[in-house]
Amino acid sequence: MIGGASAAASLLPRQLRAGAQGDDQASHEADHAASQADGEARHGEHGVAMAVGEVDTEAMGYDPSVFLTDFDYGEASQIDDGRTLREYTIVAVDQEIEIAPGVFFPAWTYNGTVPGPTIRCNEGDRIQIHFSNAGSHPHTLHFHGIHSAFMDGVAGIGRGMIHPGESFTYEFDAEPYGCHLYHCHAIPLKRHIHKGLYGAFIVNPDPERHGELARKRHPDYAESEEWQEFIMVMNAFDTTFDDENEVYAVNTVAFHYMKHPIVIERDRPVRVYLVNVTEFDPINSFHLHANFFDYYDHGTTLEPTHRTIDTVMQCQAQRGIIEISFAGFEPGQYMFHAHQSEFAELGWMSIFEVVE
Ligand SMILES: [Cu+2]
């Protein structure tokens, strides 16, 4: 967001504006006072400027702390050729969501939440997505992966637009293994994506095809059990509909994992499936404090594409897998955030709480 700050700020609660204008001493002090009155825990003497209060996750029917580890393997059955068929049901619905305390956004959603369900399966599985459009606009489901052109979920190609009231079953084999995504491909694309029609699509590598290294990423193998896995979708919201974002997050709710740090068992490795769907800003990033990590671009390799880095950037729809070890580290809070400071101060800031 460039230049839209003051217009946007007038529509945000005072606390979030204070967070957005951290250099302004008066608002900064007001933020401190409001925060202390609220009994909000502060991080450090100077504090981290962020929205105070809580989003009502129960009313919204979406809790980022639950979403983090909620992988949907669908309804599994066996088909004639011996493979596994996985069926998923996705309904597009218009749904208001709360993205920061008191900040509501009129989203278009898959199954009522932003992001939609994290669809996960094993490489080679047959996938059926039973899609219905109960929303107010035509939508599609466009998966990143290898599949027939007819099933691509793009306006004017194959089955094309699914109009309100219509249904269609998308069907394909899960290829290639990796960390992918799905989203609506209706026109205008930037509006349909930014309104909330996206989710992650994870395909576990098959150890029988790719060897031992694949085992640590496949739930049927003991080597995967020690891993602490999380899905993180970097997203943002244009609350004023001027093609600039006012609120940034991982998994939708600004500062959620600052207020509810992600607990990590120190001596078990961490794997983050990271997806960037941020609209309007060309690049987002993930930066970890006090540690380094390995990165697998698109998740389509079993050897890291970057080793020992502490920051990785992704353009829109880029994604990858981050692997972190805190083994032997001092227990405590390890921050991670977008290294675009503006995004961090407007909500994309989080904490790993590393415990022994
Ligand atoms: Cu759409």
The number of beta carbons lying within 10 Å of the beta carbon of residue 57 is: 17
241 or 352: which leads in pLDDT:
352
pLDDT in tens, 111-122: 999 999 999 999
Residues with CB under 5 A from ligand 1 (ion): 139, 184, 186, 192, 197
Mean of pLDDT over the chain: 89
DSSP designation for 101? T
- Is residue 267 pLDDT above 50, yes or no? yes
| Mean pLDDT confidence for 179-185 | 97
- What pLDDT, in 10s, does the model give residues 272-316? 999 999 999 999 999 999 999 999 999 999 999 999 999 999 999
> Which H helix or E strand runs over 122?
strand 118-122
From the CA of 139, how far away is ligand 1's center (Å)?
A: 4
- Give residue-wise pLDDT tens across range 314-326: 999 999 999 999 9
Cα-to-centroid distance, 244 and ligand 1 (Å): 19
Residue-wise DSSP of 328-346:
TPPSEEEEEE-SSHHHHHT
> How does residue 49 score in pLDDT terms, banded at 50, 70 and 90?
confident
CA of 2 to the centre of ligand 1 (A): 26
CA of 76 to the centre of ligand 1 (A): 27
Average of per-residue pLDDT across 219-231: 97
Is 37's pLDDT higher than 90? no
Distance of CA 66 to the CA centre of its chain: 12
Residue type for 323, please? Answer: E
Concatenated DSSP letters for 103-115?
A: EEEEEEEETTBSS
Q: E strands, 277-331, where?
A: 283-288, 293-297, 306-309, 311-315, 319-324
Please, which residues have CB within 8 angstroms of residue 123's CB and are 6 or more apart in sequence?
Answer: 174, 175, 176, 177, 203, 204, 205, 206, 209
Tell me which residue of 305, 342, 73 sits closest to 203, measured CA to CA: 73
pLDDT of residue 51: 76
Query: What's the CA angle centered on 293, arms 288 and 338, to 5 degrees?
Result: 30
**CA of residue 280 relative to chain centroid, distance:** 16
CA distances (Å), 229 to each of 14, 71, 218, 224, 274, in order? 35, 10, 12, 10, 11
pLDDT of residue 46: 55
Residue 13's pLDDT is: 43
Residue 325: predicted pLDDT: 98
Residue 6 has a pLDDT of 40
pLDDT at 19 over 70: no
Query: What percentage of the chain exceeds 90 in pLDDT?
Result: 84
> pLDDT: is 151 or 34 the higher one?
151
- Confidence at residue 271, expressed as pLDDT on a 0 to 100 scale: 98
Residue-wise pLDDT for 1-18, tens only, equals 433 334 343 344 434 443
CA 186–ligand 1 middle distance (angstroms): 5
Domains belonging to the chain, first-starting first, are 59-224 (2.60.40.420)
**Cα 348 to ligand 1 centre (Å):** 25
Nearest to 11 by CA among 192, 254, 238, 251: 238
Q: Are 25 and 12 in contact (CB under 8 A)?
A: no
